[in-house]
Chains A and B, each alone.
Chain A
Amino acid sequence: MNTRLLPLYATLLICLIAYAACLIQFPAMFSTRVAGNLLTDNAFLGIAAVGMTFVILSGGIDLSVGSVIAFTGVLLAVLITQHGVHPLVAFAVALAITTAFGAAMGIIIHYLQVPAFIVTLAGMFLARGMCFVMTTDSIPIDHPFYAALQGVFYRLPGGGRLTFIGCLMVAVFVVGMIIAHFSKFGSYIYAIGGNRSSAELMGVPVARTTIGIYAMSGFLSGLSGIVFSLYTSAGYSLATVGVELDAIAAVVIGGTLLTGGVGYVAGTFVGVIIQGLIQTYIVFDGTLSSWWTKIVVGVLLFSFIGLQRVLVVLSLRRSAAPTGG
């Protein structure tokens, strides 16, 4: 068995066991409503987490995600509500800005050789600050086009809703998987994350790829911001604080190595769903403090990082064994 796939299987198994445990206690959780909610409620997190997966696969990190989502939401609200711009135009403007923002961070990370942690931390403050420059209020978005998009859903038997944003998240995951596993760009990302200098020696265009990765993360954060503004029909400067950390948690629980080079986009999806499942359980229970979400996620993170270390050590031993004995 491929040891690289082991964390992914472990995640999947935990997800299934967790769901089964939920069902035993609350049979009502077996409904299309809950399933539909899991997709809709976690759409913005899932989309951002796809971008984060690529960043982490390349051995980097992007802390600006949550701020960029809030920035996008506020920008859309200001453009649409205060300036009467059509939502589609506003979407294009927002995506262009966030993609450029991500690319700029990629350029600084690559050419100035500043750690991604520092650059994206600066990006996080910058984007959050820009929200407050635009407005400190929570601005509602009331546009027929928004209402139309929110009204697009497929009614599942049992009252659940497969919403537009839920489907968009699934689509982003599918595209993400294709890019990761079936494109040149994807293989470059794995190569850089595995070993940057050997990737360079093999002729991987490191500069272009690094900038591309952060531009893509910026784009997906922007898309996530659009989804979030559809989700709440409003722009609010203080929204989505700390979502980047939830995204990182989803990526790691999904079996991606924080040091880069190993991981699967599909695993991130399961990581997002596990987090959503914990929150749903807490709401169904109704007496637990919602901070238990953080506690369980913390425990899961620890166990996954532990599991990954064990696997790395094991595979090192195995590859050393033939020469040693």
Chain B
Amino acid sequence: MISMKRILLASVFAVAGFGTASAADLTVGFSQIGSESGWRAAETSVSKIEAEKRGIAFKIADAQQKQENQIKAIRGFIAQGVDAIFIAPVVATGWDTVLAEAKEADIPVILLDRTIETADDSLYLTAVTSDTVHEGKVAGEWLAKTVADKDCKVLELQGTVGSSPAINRKKGFEEGIASASNIKIVRSQTGDFTRSKGKEVMEGFLKAENGGKDICALYAHNDDMAVGAIQAIKEAGLKPGKDILVVSVDAVPDIFKAMADGEANATVELTPNMAGPAFDALKEFKDSGKAPPKWIQTESKLFTQADDPMKVYEEKKGLGY
């Protein structure tokens, strides 16, 4: 009998507690593109962690790479009357109608990781993205600083042809090494952002460049290609990280392992934490009514062998990369 009463009481308290908590806090809906890459899976799990930290109720809808699913999810969030909507848009166009509905319902929209094309930028509160040109620049500047005034021939593994990160990371890197006339990109080809293509193209590079003996560095547009290329360098009988410096972009866990082994030298992080800054901007907007700037740039942090790569690897391992 007593235990019965206790359970009843406990459940009453639980219900009451739940009621007040959900009434006080924000509810945010997030229309995520999908989980096509390790990075995106990490973005999803980091977003959940960031929401939990702030006591925000967070609803995620995975669109399976389809815009129609994203539009449906946004309409669903509007119908639920959430306090804000985050979108990682799968394509740049076609959002005006549904965002106008959100605006009409007074629900602020924040874009994560990618932006949209629209004539009316009042349709979204702000966009939190990384500057991919800046990422390349950070990598280039690191190399310029590391080799100092020594002559340096660089091989470049580009991302998917025509994709904006590939174009921008190339441009940024060239800006980063522009002041160092001793650094020259001697070969540049696409490795399609994949590990296997990275290895294959690197093998070709090394054969064409006299076995890679006069090459001083490799710049890869993402870590996966760098990991593939490291394999190719090893098979060619050279020491990656020493004979050929390796610098890349993304900061996925595997590159930290390579750095811990001394086989990679540096990586520029494309942070999966886009939601954190978005939550902060939203909180401030809700509390003070102050609209954030239209673009919030995330930090492009440089990691080198000096940054305890094994520790970072352990931290990143569980995020779903």
Contacts and interface: CB of A to CB of B under 8 A. Distances in A.
Given A28-B79, A37-B75, A232 B63 contact: no
B62 A140 contact: no
Contact of B59 (A231, A286, A291): A286
Given A28-B80, A28-B81, A291-B64, A283 B73 contact: yes
Interface residues of A, number: 38
Interface in B71-124: 71-73, 75-81, 91-94, 96-97, 101, 105, 117, 119
Given A28-B81, A33-B78, A283-B76, A233 B60 contact: no
Contacts of A113: none
Interface string A101-129: 00000000000000000000000000000
B64 A290 contact: yes
B96 A233 contact: yes
A139 interface: yes
Interface stretch (A92-100, A235-243, A259-267): A235-243
A138 B60 contact: no
Interface string A274-289: 0010011011111101
Nearest to A41: B72
Interface in A219-277: 228, 231-234, 236, 239-241, 276
B67 A239 contact: yes
A283 B94 contact: no
Contacts of A28: 79-81
Contacts of B76: 34, 37, 279-280, 283-284
A159 B81 CA distance: 11
Given A285-B59, A290-B63, A232 B80 contact: no
A42 to B, nearest CB: 8
A200 interface: no
A159 B102 CA distance: 12
Given A283-B73, A290-B64, A37 B79 contact: yes
Interface string A30-70: 01011001001100100000000000000000000000000
A283 B59 contact: yes
A150 interface: yes
B62 A289 contact: yes
Contacts of A231: 68, 71, 94, 97
B71 A233 contact: no
B97 A287 contact: no
Contacts of A290: 61-64, 69
Interface in A1-53: 26, 28-29, 31, 33-34, 37, 40-41, 44
Contacts of B78: 33
Given A28-B79, A290-B61, A236 B69 contact: no
Interface residues of B, number: 33
A291 B64 CA distance: 8
A37 B78 CA distance: 10
Nearest to A276: B72
A280 B71 CA distance: 12
Q: Most A CB atoms within 10 A — which of B59, B61, B76, B81? A: B76
Contacts of A279: 69, 72, 76
B94 A234 contact: yes
A236 B91 contact: yes
Contact of A138 (B58, B91, B105): B91
Contacts of A236: 67, 91, 93-94
B242 interface: no
Interface in B108-148: 117, 119
B71 A232 contact: yes
Contact of B75 (A41, A228, A240): A41
Contacts of A37: 72, 75-76, 79
Given A28-B81, A138-B94, A40 B59 contact: no
A140 B94 contact: yes
A138 B101 CA distance: 22
A161 B97 CA distance: 12
Contacts of B294: none
Per CB-CB distance, the 6 closest pairs between chain A and chain B, nearest first, are: A286-B59, A283-B76, A232-B94, A234-B94, A234-B93, A140-B93
Given A232-B68, A240-B68, A280-B76, 9 more contacts: A34-B76, A34-B79, A138-B93, A140-B93, A232-B67, A240-B66, A286-B58, A286-B61, A287-B59
Interface of A: 26, 28-29, 31, 33-34, 37, 40-41, 44, 138-140, 142, 150, 159, 161, 228, 231-234, 236, 239-241, 276, 279-280, 282-287, 289-291
11 contacts: A33-B78, A34-B79, A138-B93, A140-B117, A228-B68, A231-B68, A231-B71, A279-B72, A280-B72, A284-B76, A289-B62
